[in-house]
Amino acid sequence: MRTIETLSLLSSLECSNCGQYHDPHKLHQTSVCCNAPLVAAYDSSDVFPLSKEVLPAHSDNMWRYLEMLPVFDVNNIVTLGEGMTPLQTLYRIPQMLGFDRLYWKDESLNPTGSFKARGLSAAISKAKEFGVESCIVPTAGNAGGAMAAYCAAAGIDAVVVMPRHTPKIFKEECWMYGAEVILVDGLINDCAAVAAKIREERGSFDVSTFKEPYRLEGKKTMGYEIAEQLHWNLPDVILYPTGGGTGLIGLWKAFQEMLALGWIPDKMPRLIAVQAANCQPIVASWQGIQPNAKKYNGQPSIANGLAVPRPFAEPLIMDVLKQSHGHSLAITEDDLKKYMQLLARKEGMLAAPEGAALVAALPKLLEEGLILHDENILLLNTGSGYKYLENLQIPV
């Protein structure tokens, strides 16, 4: 429903490296000064204080935070009902693992089965606002399906570039949504190289992670929702399965924005980036094994959303981990499968292996004293397990 006519408070797009201003009324990819990610900034001084009391009257999807989202004309919003996903407490796993309670934010219930819907709803809405005719994305799986769906709804051509080893259903959904699907031998960084070439030839808008500023804005709405759903008291700790880093950085951005708006108290959660042992560039940088991930080589993982060997926004990811007093750790393929099954059997949740990684991380973090059993801990399950079953060799 498009019930709100209030305008976005977007005031500029800033280079994440040097802060240089970029005109928010023009379509951008990365910053012209540093070729770094652009980050949206909002100016609420005209309406200050922007009251959270308006929210109950706003729509029941992520566009309820419209003032803090980048679309200027509400008629350009392309929505499939993404966002306002349930925030629940788990039942049996907290007991098993020795926690008083565990929160579970369930992004599997989004259109196309993952939180990628939020980012692509924002990016394709902006593409529509700027009259873009074709979009392209390199993807480990879920971003491609989401982009294809939102492009279909917007009447925009879609090209998806995906690793050949990705489970079939990720490719099939793109085809169903009418996208052109290009398969590449390698990981997402190899797909990115192919996508860059095609983009140059065709002049498409490139919605690669952090190569445009809008997906981040959609994903940050998870942070707004967590605050609203927990009555404006953030958890002590949030575990997040980190690939390209949009979700992690988006959460932190949302918390900083809400703090500036006076919506939440100044008590920030520790953010913990969970990766796959097969591809753990952030863990390696966090531990100081490498200066950065620019030369990191990873292997595929059943958690394909985590198989991002050289995240473009690595400096921003590291900043969030440092500022939030967070941490980073990796989970083996065996544990991904084991905990996916555990979640299904103990909680009735068929989560993506990326989400299962968070449960697998809990005993390790507890043992190292990095989390406490009585803290408020939130696990952000980024996607549904249904698309991944083909890769699990299930014995029935």
Ligand X SMILES: *Cc1c(COP(=O)(O)O)cnc(C)c1O
The footprint of ligand X (CB under 6 A) covers 114, 116, 142-143, 209, 241-247, 305, 352, 354, 382-383
Query: From ligand X, Zn ion, none, which one binds at residue 110 (CB under 5 to 8 Å depending on kind)?
Result: none
Query: From Zn ion, ligand X, none, which one binds at residue 18 (CB under 5 to 8 Å depending on kind)?
Result: Zn ion
Q: Does 391 bind Zn ion (CB under 5 A)?
A: no
Contact 204, 212 (CB under 8 A): no
Query: From Zn ion, ligand X, none, which one binds at residue 352 (CB under 5 to 8 Å depending on kind)?
Result: ligand X
Query: From ligand X, Zn ion, none, which one binds at residue 384 (CB under 5 to 8 Å depending on kind)?
Result: none
Contact 169, 181 (CB under 8 A): no
Minimum distance of Zn ion from residue 192's CB (angstroms): 21
Minimum distance of Zn ion from residue 316's CB (angstroms): 13
Minimum distance of ligand X from residue 36's CB (angstroms): 17
Q: Does 313 bind Zn ion (CB under 5 A)?
A: no
Minimum distance of Zn ion from residue 7's CB (angstroms): 27
Nearer to Zn ion, 34 or 80 (CB): 34
Nearer to Zn ion, 39 or 136 (CB): 39
Binder among 17, 88, 189, 256 for Zn ion (CB under 5 A): 17
Query: From Zn ion, ligand X, none, which one binds at residue 142 (CB under 5 to 8 Å depending on kind)?
Result: ligand X
CA–CA gap between residue 268 and residue 323 (Å, rounded): 9
CA–CA gap between residue 275 and residue 367 (Å, rounded): 18
Q: Which pair of tokens denotes residue 346?
A: 């103990």
Phi, psi of 11 (to 5 degrees): -120, -25
CA–CA gap between residue 224 and residue 233 (Å, rounded): 11
Q: Does 248 bind Zn ion (CB under 5 A)?
A: no
Nearer to ligand X, 64 or 116 (CB): 116
Minimum distance of ligand X from residue 335's CB (angstroms): 16
Alpha helices in the chain (DSSP H): 93-97, 116-129, 142-154, 168-176, 188-202, 214-229, 246-261, 281-286, 314-323, 333-347, 353-367
Minimum distance of ligand X from residue 214's CB (angstroms): 14
Q: Which pair of tokens denotes residue 24?
A: 């928010």
Query: From Zn ion, ligand X, none, which one binds at residue 245 (CB under 5 to 8 Å depending on kind)?
Result: ligand X
Nearer to ligand X, 114 or 278 (CB): 114
Nearer to ligand X, 55 or 344 (CB): 344
Nearest alpha-carbon partner for 307 in 391, 213, 222: 391
Nearer to Zn ion, 41 or 74 (CB): 41
| N- to C-terminal Cα separation, the chain | 42
Nearest alpha-carbon partner for 250 in 211, 221, 227, 282: 221
The residue of the chain with the least Cβ separation from ligand X equals 305
Q: Does 34 bind Zn ion (CB under 5 A)?
A: yes
Nearest alpha-carbon partner for 375 in 26, 101, 76, 38: 101
Describe the strand order of the beta sheet including 38-42 as a list of residue ranges. 21-22, 10-15, 38-42
CA–CA gap between residue 141 and residue 161 (Å, rounded): 9
Lookup result for tokens 């308006």: 54
Q: Distance of CA 259 to CAs 223, 252, 262, 292, Å? A: 12, 11, 5, 30
Query: From Zn ion, ligand X, none, which one binds at residue 111 (CB under 5 to 8 Å depending on kind)?
Result: none
Nearer to Zn ion, 33 or 96 (CB): 33
Query: From Zn ion, ligand X, none, which one binds at residue 15 (CB under 5 to 8 Å depending on kind)?
Result: Zn ion
Binding site for Zn ion (CB under 5 A): 15, 17-18, 20, 31, 33-34
